[in-house]
Chain A
Amino acid sequence: MVSIEFKGIRQGILVTLPDAGEWATIQADLAARIDSQKEFFRGANIVLQVGKRSVRRHELDSLITLLEKRNVVLTGVLSEAATTQGATRKLGLATDLDELEVVSHRPADVPETHAQQPTAAPAMNSEVQGADAVLIRRTLRSGNNIHHHGHVIVLGDVNAGAEIIAGGDIIVWGHLRGVVHAGANGGLDAVVCALNLEPTQLRIGSLISVSPAKRRRRPQPERAYIENGQIHAEAWKP
C-alpha cells in the first residue's frame, strides 16, 4: 500500500498523498483507508496535499465521486503544480488553506433539528447543537481500538496497548494508560480527562505529548488541554 498520511487541521483533515504512483492506485488505497475507519471519516471535510503531482480535472472528478459515496467532502487541493491548481479552481475548490473556513461542525446535510439523528461531527457549541458521543462501560484492554467522530467516554480503565481516537473530547472514568487522540480532526479545544492520567501517548489536534517518566504520586483526576500551542495537564478542580 502507498503511504497516505492523515492529519487533523483546523479546516478538517489534511490528506497527504504520495508524489509518485498511479492515480488509480492511490485513489483506491485512500478509499480503503476511509472504509476501514468509516465512523471517523463520515461527514468529514478533507483537503488534499498532492505536492508536485499534476492532477487533471477528470482525476479529481473521479476522486470526488468516490468520496461522495463515502460521505466525505473534498474542500481543497494543495499543490505546487499549475495543472493541479487549475483543475482545482475549475471545480470551485480551494487551493490554499486560508480560503477555507475553520470547521466547527461538519456538513450541511445534517438537518437543523435532529432529535433522532445524531450530527456527524462534534459541534463547537455542543450544548446548543448536540454532538455525538459514545459511552463505553467497560475497560478497554490491549488491542481494543475505538475510533469515533464525536466524544468518547469510558467507564473503566484504558489499558496500555488500547487506543482511542475521537473527533471530540475523551473522558476516562478510570486509569488511562493507553494511547488517546482527542480532537483528531483538528479540534484544538478538545480535552482529555481521566481519574488517573498516565497515557502512553496523548494527542490533541496535531500536538503530541507523552507522560513524564514514572512519577510515584497519588493518583488524582487530571485534565489535559492545549494552551499556547502546547499540551498541559492540570489537576481537576470542580
Chain B
Amino acid sequence: MTGRVVTITSGKGGVGKTTTTANLGVSLALQNLRVVVIDADIGLRNLDLVMGLENRIVYDMVDVVEGRCSLRQATVKHKDYPHLYLLPASQTRDKTAITPDNMRMICAELKEDNDFILIDSPAGIEWGFKNAIAPADESIIVTNPEVSSVRDADRIIGLIEAEEDPVRSWLIVNRVKANMVRRGEMLSVKDVVSLLAIKLLGVIPDDDVVVRSSNEGIAVTGKTREAFDAIARRLNGESVPVDTYENGGSFFGRFLKLFSN
C-alpha cells in the first residue's frame, strides 16, 4: 500500500484546520479507508481533544523521534472508528524537537500500511508549518470567505508553489454563511476560488454543530457531516458536485459548477 500524505494548512490561525483534519479523517475512515491523522501543532496540541482521544494518549511524536517508543506504540486507535488512528503532538516540549526529516521518515513508514495520512499544520509559516508540509504529497488549504484569511491562504499557496517540487494544493472554503453571502456581506465561494485559482475540494457551512461536537470530542453530524463526506469522496477521486451552501435551503441552483474533474 502507498498512502497519500495530505497536509491541512492555512496561514491564518483559527480558520478550521483542526476541525477539517478530524472530520475528514472520520469521513475517510467511514469509507473503509485506513487513516492516520498527525497533529503537527507541537506545544499547542488539540487534535486529540477534538477527536475525543485525549485520555488515551501514552506516547507522542517526540517520543518516537527520540526513540522512547515505536511508531506503532504512539499511534492511538480511535474508539469509534476502527480504521482511524491519531499520532499526537507533544504537549510541552520544544517545537524544534521535530525536524522536516523526522516528519518524512514517520510518514514514509505510515504510508506503507495506510491509505491517507492527514497532517494538521499549525498556523503561520514558521517551523511547525515547514515540518507539516515537508512530507506532503498534497496540501489542503483551508480558508474562510473573508479577506484576511484569503490573503494568508494566497501567501501559503505562494510558498508551496515556490518549493522545488511543489505539491498540488486543494482548497476548502470553511464557515460559509448563506445569508451573509446573499446580502453581499461576505466573499462568495466563487470570488475566493477565482482569487486563489486552485482546485476547489469543497465547501463547509458555518454551523453551530462544529463547536458543540468539538467540545464533546465527537464527529460533526447533519449537513456539515455531509459536506465532509463529499470532500472525502472527492479527495478519493470520485466526482461529486460541490454544494456551496450559499443558497440556504433551496435545492435548485444549490450546486455550483465549480467542480469538474
Contact = CB atoms under 8 A, between A and B. Distances in A.
A1 B158 CA distance: 29
Interface size class of A (residues with CB under 8 A): 10 to 19
Contacts of B152: 142
A137 interface: no
A141 B78 CA distance: 39
Interface in B106-164: 151-152, 154-155, 157-159, 161
Interface in A155-181: 157, 159-161
B151 A139 contact: no
Contacts of A143: 154-155, 158-159
B195 interface: yes
Nearest to A144: B158
Contacts of A33: none
Nearest to B125: A143
B44 interface: no
A138 B166 CA distance: 13
Interface in B38-71: none
Most buried by B among A144, A157, A159: A159
Interface string A27-65: 000000000000000000000000000000000000000
Nearest to B152: A142
A168 to B, nearest CB: 24
Contacts of B195: 159
B137 to A, nearest CB: 21
Contacts, number: 26
A40 to B, nearest CB: 21
A16 B103 CA distance: 49
A161 B152 CA distance: 9
- The dominant DSSP class at the B interface is helix
Contact of A161 (B151, B159, B161): B151
Query: Which of B154, B159, B161, B195: most chain A CB closer than 10 A?
Result: B154
B197 interface: yes
Nearest to A174: B197
A138 to B, nearest CB: 7
Contacts of A160: 151, 154
A142 B155 contact: yes
A142 B197 contact: no
Given A141-B158, A142-B158, A144-B158, A157 B197 contact: yes
A15 B127 CA distance: 38
A159 B161 contact: no
Q: A140, A143, A160: which has the most chain B beta carbons within 10 Å?
A: A143
A143 B152 CA distance: 9
Contacts of B161: 138, 141
A160 B152 CA distance: 10
Interface in A116-159: 138-144, 157, 159
Contacts of A159: 154, 195
Contacts of B197: 139, 157
A19 B159 CA distance: 40
A138 B197 CA distance: 11
A4 B44 CA distance: 41
Contact of B155 (A138, A139, A141, A157): A141
Nearest to A161: B151
B124 to A, nearest CB: 13
Interface string B189-231: 0000001010000000000000000000000000000000000
A198 to B, nearest CB: 11
B243 to A, nearest CB: 26
Max count, chain A CB within 10 A of own CB: residue among B152, B159, B195: B195
Nearest to A177: B195
A143 B161 CA distance: 12
Contacts of B159: 143
A161 B150 CA distance: 11
B157 to A, nearest CB: 6
A143 B125 CA distance: 12
Interface of A: 138-144, 157, 159-161
The 9 A-B pairs at the shortest CB distance, nearest first, are namely: A141-B158, A142-B154, A142-B155, A143-B155, A141-B154, A142-B151, A159-B154, A161-B151, A144-B158
Given A141-B158, A141-B161, A142-B151, 8 more contacts: A141-B154, A141-B155, A141-B157, A142-B154, A143-B159, A159-B154, A161-B151, A161-B155
7 contacts: A141-B154, A141-B155, A142-B151, A142-B154, A143-B154, A160-B151, A161-B155
Interface of B: 151-152, 154-155, 157-159, 161, 195, 197
